[in-house]
Amino acid sequence: MKIIIVGGVAGGASAAARARRLSEDAQIVLVERGPDVSFANCGLPYYIGGKITERDKLLVVTPKRMQDRFKLDVRVRSSVEAIDRKAKTVRIRDLESGRDYDESYDKLILAPGAAPLRPPIPGIDLPGIFTLRNLQDMDRIKAAVDQGVQQAVVVGAGFIGLELVENLVRLGVSTTVVELQDQVLPPFDKEMTTPLAKALAESGVALLLGEAAEGFEQTSDGLVVRLKSGQELPAQLVALGIGVRPENKLAVDARLEVGPRGGIQVNDHLQTSDPDIFAVGDAIEVKDFVLGSPTQVPLAGPANRQGRIAADNIFGRASRYRGTQGTAILGLFDLTAAMTGASEKVLKRSERPYRMVYVHPNDHAGYYPGAEQMTLKLLFDPESGKVLGAQGVGGAGVDKRIDVLAVAIQAGMTVYDLEEMELAYAPQYGSAKDPINMVGFVAAGLLRGDHPQIDVANLLSIPSGQRPFLLDVRTPNEFAAGHIPDAVNIPVDDLRTRVNELPKDREIAAYCQVGQRGYLATRILNQSGHSAKNVSGGYKSFKLWNQNND
Ligand code: FAD
């Protein structure tokens, strides 16, 4: 069996190593355009910022090590230029010598990844405008920074853009972020990104939302970035982080089937429309695990797992790829933002019915020093309670909770399962009622009808004259420090004695700081003949929608 693998990083290197473990006899040729294989793309921004100090640490495995340990034929600085499906050969160009030659295969694995987008706007190719994909890009950015950059503009506030921002700020560079959408981190729901926008502002980053770069010009001092609004930003460094497009040229030229957004189409076994050609990683179209629809998700975990699965299938193991649920995480200064499964905007767009709740628990017991608050948003099926998606933002413990919820989605669990989950607890790690249990209690209570709720977005969408009677059940001090407009304050501890002050002919929306006292208030009110709902996540959720309302 002779296998040729195109691309030697996440998906390609995983496929090669797995193939060797499954067969000592196979001939495995790993062809990589760049000088490195299996490097840590995800670490690149942190070398630029100086958090990772040794460049060599980013080379997870050298070509020589791959060759020795896995008995691979590794050909770096070599590019696969074409596939002849009939002859079952590929045309390889040795980029050192410029020589072209053909190499035959029994099975071919395409793992060419995705290239950063560089839209054709005037001046895009000027020096000082960078994208970040590999160690060479990283070296170029690092060299520019080392020459002395005072001002940088990062175009695009996605994962890579924001990671670059953090690292530029760490280096003392005055940084502006330009983002076309009206929020940072577009895969997330907007309100969940409010703390990130705030953290950027607090770190001195200028954030221009709903704005686009329309041109670049060279000046005596570097560059100027011209924006759609007419504003001009001086910079000595511009980084583009506006997304990636699948490297599909080989596949398109070979007439393999490709989806509408350019991803190479594969079946569950990761076979392309040619059964002898497999494809993995950022270059492919995958099935959305939650919605079942085709999508493209450029993430390292899926690429690595897909590499293994392709190799399995070549050696007769019928492994299947289940689909991608988009579990992703970002560290930004002291904050963590993570998500898994479908977001609310994606559910809305695909007209998938859902319910949602917010909770704002501490990562561990409040009485143990150092507890940090997080916000969790859970999306679930309104009938079965099946978990569809989750997002978290906050300090410590967000990663753990989103990972638990990612497993819940994989396992097809419901909000009732979250109520029952038994998770590790000691006061420095969690709570006897873990945030996962809490979000389960709130969501299950909503579905059982024990805990009627209204979310802030719905509440605010009602014209102010027609809104429910707004009842703030926090203390007078909390109320005085900020409240939802038009709210009346009756602390929850006084509610039983003052319940007659509240209308019975009008719905009441009760809220506290995070939702817990509001829940008790709705139970008291609904048992005294009122019609009450709890505002999901309380005043803290309101603030997610109203950034300036502190
Ligand atoms: P790649 O890893 O990009 O490898 C493809 C390789 O194929 C490339 O080296 C390319 O040179 C080579 N190639 C392409 N065409 C040819 C050809 N014709 N002939 C020969 N070789 C070819 N994901 C996460 O999940 N978490 C993170 O924190 C994270 N951070 C990231 C940070 C940065 C800066 C970047 C750039 C990406 C990050 N990612 C992260 C995404 C992750 O790195 C990718 O999803 C993953 O590497 C995709 O794997 P792949 O094998 O499909 O492609």
Output the six-digit token pair for 413.
Answer: 């669990």
The string of pLDDT tens digits covering residues 222-271 is 999 999 999 999 999 999 999 999 999 999 999 999 999 999 999 999 99
Does residue 42's CB lie within 6 angstroms of at least one atom of ligand 1? Answer: yes
Residues ≥6 apart with Cβ < 8 Å to 14: 280, 303, 304, 305, 306, 307, 308, 311
What values do phi and psi take at 212, rounded to 5?
-140, 145
Active site residues: 42
| Beta-sheet strand order (sheet of 174-179) | 129-130, 237-240, 151-155, 174-179, 206-209
Per-residue pLDDT in tens (0 to 9) along the chain, 550 residues = 999 999 999 999 999 999 999 999 999 999 999 999 989 999 999 999 999 999 999 998 888 888 889 999 999 999 999 999 999 999 999 999 999 999 999 999 999 999 999 999 999 999 999 999 999 999 999 999 999 899 999 999 999 999 999 999 999 999 999 999 999 999 999 999 999 999 999 999 999 999 999 999 999 989 999 999 999 999 999 999 999 999 999 999 999 999 999 999 999 999 999 999 999 999 999 999 999 999 999 999 999 999 999 999 999 999 999 999 999 999 999 999 999 999 999 999 999 999 999 999 999 998 999 999 999 999 999 999 999 999 999 999 999 999 999 999 999 999 999 999 999 999 999 999 999 999 999 999 999 988 899 999 899 889 888 899 999 999 999 999 999 999 999 999 999 999 999 999 999 999 999 998 999 999 999 999 999 999 999 999 999 987 654 4
From the CA of 115, how far away is ligand 1's center (Å)? Answer: 8
Q: Would you list the DSSP string of 355-366? A: EEEEE--BSS-T
Residues ≥6 apart with Cβ < 8 Å to 95: 33, 77, 78, 79
Q: Which residues pair with 374 in a beta bridge?
A: 394
Q: What is the mean pLDDT of the chain?
A: 95
Nearest CA to ligand 1 atom 27: 42
Ligand 1: residue of 42, 100, 105, 242 to mutate (most ligand atoms within 8 A of CB) is: 42
Ligand 1: residue of 41, 137, 240, 324 to mutate (most ligand atoms within 8 A of CB) is: 41
